[in-house]
Structure 1
Amino acid sequence: MTKPVVDYSLYLVTDSGLNLPSRTLVQSVEDSILGGVTLVQLREKELSTDAFIELARKVQAVTKKYNVPLLINDNIEVALAIDAEGAHVGQDDISCLEARKLLGPNKILGISTGTPEEAKKALEDGADYIGIGTCFMTQTKSPKRTLGPIGVRTILEALPAESSLKTVVIGGIKNDNTRRVISHSVGANGRILDGIAVVTGVVGAVDAKKASEQLLSEYKAGYDIASKRVQGLVEERASVQDVLKSFSQLLTTLREKSPLVHHISNYVVMNDTANATLALGGSPIMAPSAAEAEDLSKVVSSVVLNIGTLTESFVDCMLEAGKHANAQSKPIVFDPVGAGATTLRESTTRKILNSMHVDIIKGNAGEISTIAKIVGCDTESIAMRGVDSLGSGFSNPAAVVQAVAKRESCVVVMTGLIDYVSDGTRTVAIENGHAYQGRITGSGCMAASSIGCFAAISPNDHFAAAVAGILAINLAGEHAGTRCDVQGPGTFRAAFIDEMANLAPERMLTETRIKSVELSN
């Protein structure tokens, strides 16, 4: 007997406790296979060995009917008794080495891993695949910590690119996060997850067949995105010059459409960000309530998340808003205010980046430095004091924003004396702006709102939206700073918002001071 060839794309892990009472576990397994499940693991922690064997034989009759491999969880005796295709063990179960000795060389053997070290050991010990988790919180386990796509990626990067060890992700994998997890877990070594392992998403579904079909479709979509990233394939994008030429039209469109922009912002600047949104031509809704996030996601055109005010309810609302915005394909702008200044702010930033796909990140050098560290970019470190960066900044800021943008498949905006915007391929330096912008509270938050406005009417090019958002704010700052009635930061604040409303589309292109930065990819 030779070792079976396994397709790990959609890996069902059973749980009788979650199975609906209206059907048997065997029926649930068959329905899921009809929906596209490619591998089944029978997990029964509470059954006696005899009862486990009896159930395993019934499930095996179904898996053999459809030529789908069956693995047994943490019970080598049962796996051998029914001649299953293999087994899966945990870190606290029988060792991988001992399991391999008992199973022999021609059975599939998998092991749960949660760290790079465990993944490397599984490879050394002869596992065929590893289950990487826990990715997100789940009903079936109470993990001490969750990995998220960033943690999963770290484990993938610990494995040699040429290794034959297969990888699946497990823990809270659902229809609304599968695509993001697969596409955002790609390691720098080019490793892509070979599959998703699902429990509740299928076993607990009313229609196991339909749930399986949807999950497999999402996995394939995520894998396609990941493959294109690995191959360096990108969609054809407008040149920087074309982006600049479109600025005037974007501002005109913004004022014509007045898109609704959902803000979850800090209390200190909420009034300013709302007024800036109105002045530019958008329509703000300041709604920090998790209970209405789903309803709002259907009517807003973009979402701006700002962690300046950190309360548990604010964070819960951001997570809900992000989840539903992703589901509705609404762009998300993330302003990680003070990220790196405290442990709470850094952990919240990590949680947000792990819980949703962020389309545009806007921060100062210290905040972007923290995000670079979180996502695993090897860059210089910039310290924070409160919400402000310390020091002179990065020696090569354009390279940093490009690296983070490429790593996270998003647009990154880094504000400072010169602002940098990159989508990982196109990178620009924007020199417009006025010194008073750095001397009033909330100018950075207003920049995030401005980007959110333009993202709402530029859904297919977030780079163009980010460039337009920064240019609009900076040109308004320049106009306000030169007014004769502006005597300092206090009078500048009011004039600043006035000049956002006074921006003339036909003048914009002639006033921009922007340079394209050519960096190697």
Structure 2
Amino acid sequence: MEIYKKISKALYEIKYKKPLIHHITNYVTANDCANITLAIGASPVMADDINEVRDMVSLANSLVINLGTLSSRTVEAMILAGKRANELNIPIILDPVGVGATSYRTNIAREILKQIKISIVRGNLSEIKSLFGVDTKTKGVDSSEIILKKQEDLKNVQKFAKKFAKTFNTVVAITGYIDIVTDGENLYVTKNGNEMMSKITGTGCMCTSLIASFAGVEDDYIISALGGVIFMGIAGEIGYNKLNKDEGIGSLKVNIIDAIYKMSEEDLIKKGNFIENSSC
């Protein structure tokens, strides 16, 4: 229950303080990320021009670096903004979209990790493995691997997640059918969500924006990551359960944003499904 209280307190702080979340993100999901940031109570800005990113991040409470639609222009802006955020102790959330698909994308992600201190990394299993240097397969920007239900497979991913977090001195959130969040010592397994969410472009990016909203008010970054992941999963369940027989993935996306807007401590307590410090 202590974790519930911390996440609920952070949710209240988001709605009260309305933290500014600076996104350097991809053009495919920018609108969705902005809307879900607004829905939870934070304030989004999508500034990626090299001439203003230092100034903009200086005003922000957290920074999202999302690699979804890379270009040499945005990469330079990401590194410049990231270094400025580090100078000001502003948390940075890295979303390594599609890492492993091309050598350019993978090398850029690793270079960002070398040059910038990242507070939280959120990605699917294929992306996180590729970022670490483990051979894996990625289909475009989609994961070709899932965290399987078998206990032995889950334990192996938990061990890998802890190793990743310790190596990069960060919190990592590996999201998918089952979600794993760890800082290298403490570890949580969450099981909220609905598989239909994988049919919507941008649910991962939106989850990253939620994590960044929490990180804008909560400096215990495992709480920030866990809050974003759990709320995204709960919203997916609520959104799916509201669909009627004539509605599909478009309606689900709208329902998810609505669910985040209405999310409460009661939703967290009743629907949150996670295991703390799961053995591995």
TM-score range, shorter chain: over 0.9
Matched, 1:352 2:112: yes
> Contact 1:252 / 1:505 at 8 angstroms: preserved in 2?
no
TM-score (norm 2): 0.94
Q: Which of 200, 217, 230 lines up with 1:471 in the alignment? A: 230
User: Shift in Å at residue 352 of structure 1?
Assistant: 0.6
2:210 maps to 1:450:
yes
In the alignment, the residues of structure 1 paired with residue 146 and residue 35 of structure 2 have an alpha-carbon distance, to the nearest angstrom, of 32
Of 19, 22, 26, the match for 1:262: 22
Tell me if the contact between 2:24 and 2:47 (Cα under 8 Å) persists in the aligned partners.
Answer: yes
TM-score (structure 1 length as normaliser): 0.51
Within 5 Å, which residues of 2 pair with 1:196-275?
241-275=1-35
CA distance in 1, matches of 2:145, 2:68: 21
* 1:361/1:413 contact within 8 Å kept: yes
- CA-based RMSD: 1.5
Counting only pairs closer than 5 Å after superposition, residues 144-159 of structure 1 correspond to structure 2 as none
SS state of the match for residue 117, structure 2? coil
Aligned residue identity for 1:387:
V
Name which one, 1 or 2, has greater alpha-carbon Rg: 1
Q: Which amino acid aligns with 1:438?
A: S
For residue 174 of structure 2, give the secondary structure of its aligned residue in structure 1.
strand
Alignment counterpart, residue 94 of structure 2, candidates 334, 337, 355: 334
- Give 5+ residue unaligned stretches, structure 2: none
Q: Does the 8 A contact of 1:421 with 1:466 survive in 2?
A: yes
- Select which of 111, 118, 136 maps to 1:382: 136
**Structure 1: which 5+ residue stretches go unaligned?**
1-240, 374-379
Aligned 8 A contact 2:53 2:81 in 1:
yes
The CA deviation at 1:381 is 3.5
State how 1:73-88 maps to structure 2 within 5 Å.
Answer: none
Q: Percent identity?
A: 35
Q: State the 1:392 CA deviation.
A: 4.3
Shift of 1:298: 2.1
Q: 2: distance between equivalents of 1:391 and 1:270? A: 25
Task: Give the residue type in structure 2 aligned to 1:389.
Answer: S
Residue 253 of structure 1 aligns with an amino acid whose one-letter code is E
Query: Is 1:399 paired with 2:159?
Result: yes
In structure 2, what residue type is equivalent to 1:321? A
Aligned pairs for 1:172-191 (under 5 A) are none
User: What CA distance in whole angstroms lies between the structure 1 residues aligned with 2:32 and 2:244?
Assistant: 20
Give matches, 1:22-421, under 5 Å: 241-373=1-133, 381-393=135-147, 395=153, 396-421=156-181
Find the counterpart in structure 2 of residue 489 from structure 1: 249
Q: Which moved more, 1:476-485 or 1:273-282?
A: 476-485
- What is residue 196 of structure 2 aligned with on the other side? 436
Cα displacement string for residues 26-67 of structure 1 (whole angstroms, at most 9, x for unaligned residues):
xxxxxxxxxxxxxxxxxxxxxxxxxxxxxxxxxxxxxxxxxx
Aligned-partner SS, 1:361: strand
Bigger mean CA offset, 434-443 vs 291-300: 291-300
Query: Cα offset for 1:449?
Result: 0.4
How big is each residue's C-alpha offset from its partner over 1:126-168, in whole Å with a ceiling of 9 and x where there is no partner?
xxxxxxxxxxxxxxxxxxxxxxxxxxxxxxxxxxxxxxxxxxx
CA contact (8 A) 1:245 1:509 kept: no
Count of residues paired in the alignment: 273
Q: CA deviation at 1:345?
A: 0.6
Q: Tell me by how many angstroms 1:291 deviates.
A: 1.6
Q: Any runs of at least 4 consecutive aligned residues in structure 1 with deviations exceeding 3 A, and if so which?
A: 391-394, 517-520
For 2:84, give the aligned amino acid. H
> Higher relative contact order by CA 8 Å / sep ≥ 6: 1 or 2?
2
1:474 is displaced (CA, Å) by 1.0
Aligned-pair distance for 1:350? 1.1
Distance in 2, matches of 1:406 and 1:484, equals 41
CA distance in 2, matches of 1:275, 1:361: 21
Deviations 1:89-147 (A, max 9, x none): xxxxxxxxxxxxxxxxxxxxxxxxxxxxxxxxxxxxxxxxxxxxxxxxxxxxxxxxxxx
| Offset, 1:507 | 3.0
Match of 2:22, SS state, is strand
User: How far is the alpha carbon of 1:365 from its aligned partner?
Assistant: 0.6
Contact 1:410 1:423 in 2 (8 A): yes
Secondary structure of 2:97 counterpart: coil
Worse overlay, 420-429 or 431-440? 431-440
Q: CA deviation at 1:311?
A: 0.6
CA distance 1:289–1:351, shift in 2 (3 Å):
same
Q: Which residue of 1 aligns with 2:269?
A: 509
Task: Report the AA paired with residue 53 of structure 2.
Answer: A
Tell me how far apart the structure 1 counterparts of residues 4 and 180 of structure 2 sit (CA, whole Å): 15
Counterpart secondary structure, 1:330:
coil
